[in-house]
Chains A and B, each alone.
Chain A
């Protein structure tokens, strides 16, 4: 076991390394992406100017691209140390003021979102404390799984357009804050509430709580004691929640036209404005890093020097018992709709029936070009889920390999955990242009840590088992032991785990598609469908709500599949533990 202090140092070091790598990676984009930013910058600066070789050469010289990668990077780095982030390639203005202005807006938004998140978390935890035992935690898990872009779109449609209660765009006063803060805060609150609500039942079953209750201590005081016990270990998770917020801010700010740092980053990536992209992404990552560090510090304070590790780890949460029924029903529902949609043509444009309501010829209506929404959903699912399957399959092998080198895996997964998929998506799109492959790569880059952790735990378990020394005793070499015994015990469970993560992966892909970082029109990708339909929510709510509903079902499937996987894993572990216990109590 590593001491928590050194783990903190390691996490800090790996994250600083990640920052430096991102900084250098963005700075060197023009050299390894093979895309010349001069053309994009020329277009962005003026629409009229012809992209003649001379004009492009002038721009390249102006941007400092002629000096070569090393000189440019050194120049940037020394500028950064002096607090100079360079000038925007597109607007020609200083990057630093844009970044600080955006950061101010985003901080305001995130602060409001955190307040929402805490309220949501409190609402989720209260019933557990009042009743003194656990709930299934499915509500919290659902809230945590709803992607921000989906929630934001639904809020925009319902609260902004239909009810007209709140403004839907801009940043002029407190009312403008409501919808974005709710969209950003609810998933974060779901995550926080879920972490606490998962840990509480086991804590309330601990010996001390039993003793207190037996001694007639009031329920409120037992609840207070349980909260004090649960909160310190959860404080570091706060850092993760904020990392999630920085990712979610990109979508939410884009949807509500909030001039924050997330929208700035996305815009800079689209226009290949590398200095601005560098500044904005650094600011976002630094924000997550600082909050994570602060959270670790608070935890340190809360626990005091003497109590740092002993006995303060929480008992393992007991995942809710979830049968296969719920995920199977949801999967059948989705598959039925997809199958029906696949039989129809997603590209057939029929301008006579644009934005038609649902009818027998178009069961879910038509979109702005008169294309059948059901067909587009069906084909889009095939593309999204197919890509997600590829991502899961690709993530499986590295995760399995990293399971054998847990120390390396821990360092790398620290970095992956510090990077929200959206930001990785922005960086990949900036490098290779938006596209399905880039989105898949971005999601694959950050989605493997849970798999690797699972693989590492299994490898450790197998390596520690007695029958491996029995293998050496018969003269088996390391290759035999690896391929005949270790890999087969590890690969199966990890593959099942990877499969259960498929719906969540599909959601992450859809969120990149929604932001224009994934599949491009006219491809029928789910996130893209939702984005396209936003333009005509007032006239054709069906066309907008159908993809939103499909995504919500996908989120529910993600949650129930993950919960089923977790409960299946624990029951299996309990079963093997029982077989192992057979031995000391003499058996016949």
Chain B
């Protein structure tokens, strides 16, 4: 059993309120685990804690067998690229001041993988991979449509060469006609790159179509895993 992400008894508190109450699940390479549940049940909090974007208040998070919750931020930084988030709000997750090209190149620079000779070609390749062309790369987020912007966000996540994507309602802000395109893209990426997906979603019809397994949350607890 090769679990990519393994979460055990995860707890997230906001002050006295318990937002995530001892939640456990795992995501394997190449599979999609859907996390569903009503609004406010703690899905986004679970995602943020699983990515260590917010330190959990209890429990364990293992990525490829390595326990993360007790690692200092400095060590964590080296491991972060392998697990990337894609957010619901396509505009808010990119800096409004950056051109798309630079936003996609930024992970390469941050992670010390930027090379003036090959970098631009790599960025163009990533943009092409998500269905954007070089002209899109010169624009800023507000000059793109929501669907294009979400694709740019995915390209940026891919630049870190992740093995896990945590997708927090990646298509719920998009028009239904654009959704299918983004979902097809995600399915194709999973197929070719063998990515594991933690896919947070409201839409049960979509989940049935897209997910391998489903975990259902209610009031911070996991009530059903299939």
Contact = CB atoms under 8 A, between A and B. Distances in A.
A472 B95 CA distance: 13
A465 B106 CA distance: 18
A580 B91 CA distance: 7
Contacts of A475: 77-78, 80-81, 107, 110-111, 160
A588 B94 CA distance: 17
Contacts of B147: 588
Contacts of B106: 474, 476, 484
By secondary structure, the B interface counts as: mixed
Nearest to B148: A588
B90 interface: yes
Contact of B85 (A465, A470, A576, A579): A470
Chain B: interface size category:
35 or more
Contact of B175 (A467, A469, A576, A587): A587
B96 interface: yes
Given A583-B173, A587-B173, A474 B89 contact: no
Contacts of B145: 587-588
A582 B175 CA distance: 12
Contact of A474 (B96, B110, B142): B110
B110 A476 contact: yes
B2 interface: no
A82 interface: no
A588 B110 contact: no
A470 B146 contact: no
B89 A583 contact: yes
Interface in B179-214: none
A587 B148 CA distance: 11
A586 interface: yes
Nearest to A481: B110
Contacts of A484: 106
B173 A474 contact: no
B85 A469 contact: yes
Contacts of B176: 586
Contacts of B95: 467, 485
A583 B177 contact: no
Nearest to B160: A474
Interface in B69-98: 77-78, 80-81, 83-85, 87, 89-97
A101 B93 CA distance: 65
B56 to A, nearest CB: 15
Interface string A465-492: 1110110111111001000110011000
A34 interface: no
Contacts of B81: 474-475
Interface in B154-185: 156, 159-160, 173-178
A97 interface: no
B80 A582 contact: no
B89 A466 contact: yes
A92 interface: no
A579 B144 CA distance: 11
A583 B97 contact: no
6 contacts: A466-B92, A480-B110, A485-B97, A582-B146, A583-B173, A586-B174
Given A470-B94, A586-B146, 14 more contacts: A466-B92, A470-B87, A472-B80, A473-B51, A473-B85, A474-B110, A475-B77, A489-B97, A579-B142, A582-B91, A583-B173, A586-B176, A587-B145, A588-B174
Interface of A: 465-467, 469-470, 472-477, 480, 484-485, 488-489, 576, 579-580, 582-584, 586-588
**Nearest 6 CB-CB pairings of A with B:** A587-B146, A466-B92, A474-B107, A475-B80, A475-B77, A588-B175
